[in-house]
Amino acid sequence: MTDLYNTCQRYKTVVFATFTAVYLSACGESPQTKSANKTQGIVYCAEANPVSFNPQVTTTGSTIDIIANQLYNSLISIDPITAEFKPELATEWLISDDGKKITFKLREGVQFHSTEYFTPTRTMNADDVIFSFSRLFDVYNPYHFVQDANYPYFQSVGMDQLIRKIVKVDDYTVRFELFSAESSLLSNIATDFAVILSEEYAMLRESQDKKHLFDSLPIGTGPYKYKHFLRDNLVRFHKHSGYWKHDYAVDQLVYDITTNNTTRIAKMLTKECDITSHPSATQLEALSQRQDIVVDKAVNLNVGYWAFNTEKPPFDNVLVRKALAHSIDFDKIMQAVFYGNGIAAQSILPPSSWAFTKQVMPYYDPQKAKQYLTEAGFPDGFEMTLWAMPVSRIYNPNARKMAELIQSDLRQIGIRTRIVEYEWNAFIERIGRHEHDSVLLGWAADTPDPDNFFSPLLSCTATFTGKNPANWCNPEFDLLLTQALDTNDLKMRKHYYQQAQKMLVEQLPVVPIAHGVRFQARSADIAGAELRPFGGVSLANVRKGDQ
């Protein structure tokens, strides 16, 4: 057995191009921790702890990357190349003429995970599908109020208000009956959030009076099953030997939780990690020169933005928001943060979206910024906070650096800015409570449907669920989204989304900054770890050269 975690060494110093990374390994660990630090599988260096092991209850990208495609399956998926819907746990589906009924035929013989804490007595059937989705909208579902009844993605897109009921036609056929037809419903059912859970496992936890464990000790149908989680250290999955798609998943998949970007790369170079997420632009050239490391690159549907808490004065004043937007040197951000590996935003939608329409974006003009401030009643500026993500993401590889550049620019127009940082999970929780003045965040799309950039981020419903970082609720904007979803006519949908993009630039609840490029570094002997243009990371097909 190869020891991939040298847990009792003192220091490792790695000279890497123009930087030196020092990795201080954990000494004095308990026997349990030392045992957990060994594996014969694949180690993935991840940037943050998962906030849950159920994708229904979070929209945090770092969590979805770890859990969604590894532990679970959805009814259908979206082909990353053709954007067509593909069968997964459902083999076929039929939509009624009025669009208000969708019938799914389920795959038979799909096995749930068998773990130390649960052994299934049956395969997946209609009861599991009904349980999984009814939890979102049915107050009589025994799990609806677990996790404080917060299902952020589904609530933000209004899916909990769309489904009237789900009917069990037979053991392997279910029918979704809707209050109204909606053009993006299938896309939402194909997301990484719409996973199928075990109703039998849920009932067991209820009988044990331990429903709170349902989302932290997971059971799914995916290629891996849960084994162990040690916060700030690792997540361990084992191979699901009964996986319905194939049987070549690696024996163990370990996520090494390493929040520091430089340390993640150091672990790649010392062979402690086989794959690492989000290498920075400054590290890409040096990595690409290594014969034993491959750097993967993919255009990803995403946007990085600066959001203002529009319910807090003075950010409730559009003139203030315009002043802030015109004070920023966006070219400097693109050079110093993205190093040429991003696209300057010309809308909240990336250019590859079929609904994209180029907008007249705010531009760097300090004099115009000062003029707006004076008109808003703040000729001498004011004090504010700027919250920066503590992790590197596709849409913002270095939020701290970006925050410092913005802080410097704001100083030129008399605004005193304090940069705020928290541990990632605490950061997300506090943003959800709208404690911030402004925040640097972003969004990586779960589907190619344009609504994925609007409803989850900027709808009134997203505000109520705490997932709208701008805390912005505009009924006219929501009406445009509703009109776009009420039709399947792509020309009409594009028209409504054009109006929505225009309104966002006029009102500026968020300032779109850039669309990033997704990178990952992997050992040359690792195959099957492909990057995708949308959705979370999938390691269902990952393999090692000697396995």
The predicted-structure confidence for 318-370, as pLDDT tens digits, reads as follows 999 999 999 999 999 999 999 888 999 999 999 999 999 999 999 999 999 99
- The amino acid that residue 325 corresponds to is A
**DSSP conformation class of 74:** B
Q: Taking residues 133-158, what's their average pLDDT?
A: 91
Prediction pTM value: 0.85
- Is the pLDDT reported for residue 18 higher than 50? no
**What percentage of residues in the chain have a pLDDT greater than 70?**
92
The encoded tokens of residue 19 equal 């930087």
Pairing of strands 438-444, 383-388: parallel
Within 190-288, where are the H helices?
199-207, 261-269, 281-288
- Is the pLDDT reported for residue 3 higher than 60? no
Which among 464, 323, 310 has a CA at the least distance from the CA of 380? 323
- Is the pLDDT reported for residue 167 higher than 70? yes
Q: What is the pLDDT of residue 11?
A: 32
- Measured distance CA(469)–CA(510) in Å, rounded: 9
- Measured distance CA(184)–CA(346) in Å, rounded: 24
What is the helix (H) or strand (E) element at residue 371, kind and residue range? helix 366-376
- Is the pLDDT reported for residue 17 higher than 70? no
Q: What is the pLDDT of residue 150?
A: 84
Which among 398, 389, 387, 395 has a CA at the least distance from the CA of 262? 398
Torsion from C-alpha of 148, 154, 160, 166, nearest 10 degrees: -110
- Measured distance CA(113)–CA(241) in Å, rounded: 9
Helix (H, G, I), strand (E, B) or coil at 374: helix
Name every residue whose Cβ is closer than 8 Å to that of residue 385 and which is 6 or more positions away in sequence: 417, 418, 419, 420, 436, 437, 438
Pairing of strands 383-388, 416-420: parallel
Q: What is the pLDDT of residue 1?
A: 40
**DSSP conformation class of 347:** S
Per the omega criterion (within 30 degrees of 0), is the bond before 314 cis?
yes
For 248-265, how does the pLDDT look when each residue is reduced to its tens digit (9 = 90+)? 879 999 999 999 988 999
Q: What is the pLDDT of residue 6?
A: 37
Which among 426, 406, 425 has a CA at the least distance from the CA of 416? 406
Helix (H, G, I), strand (E, B) or coil at 160: helix
Pairing of strands 163-170, 224-230: unpaired
Helix axes 366-376, 318-326, angle to 10 degrees: 160
3-state secondary structure 523-541: ECCEECCCCCCCCCCCCCC
Q: What is the pLDDT of residue 532?
A: 86
Q: What is the pLDDT of residue 195?
A: 98
- Is the pLDDT reported for residue 531 higher than 80? yes
Within 261-329, where are the H helices?
261-269, 281-288, 318-326
**CA dist 437 → 232, 363, 491 (Å):** 28, 22, 38
Cα end-to-end span (Å), the chain: 13
Name every residue whose Cβ is closer than 8 Å to that of residue 214 and which is 6 or more positions away in sequence: 54, 143, 146, 201, 202, 205
Per-residue pLDDT band at 546 (split at 50, 70, 90): low
Compute the mean pLDDT over every residue in the chain, rounded to the nearest whole number: 90
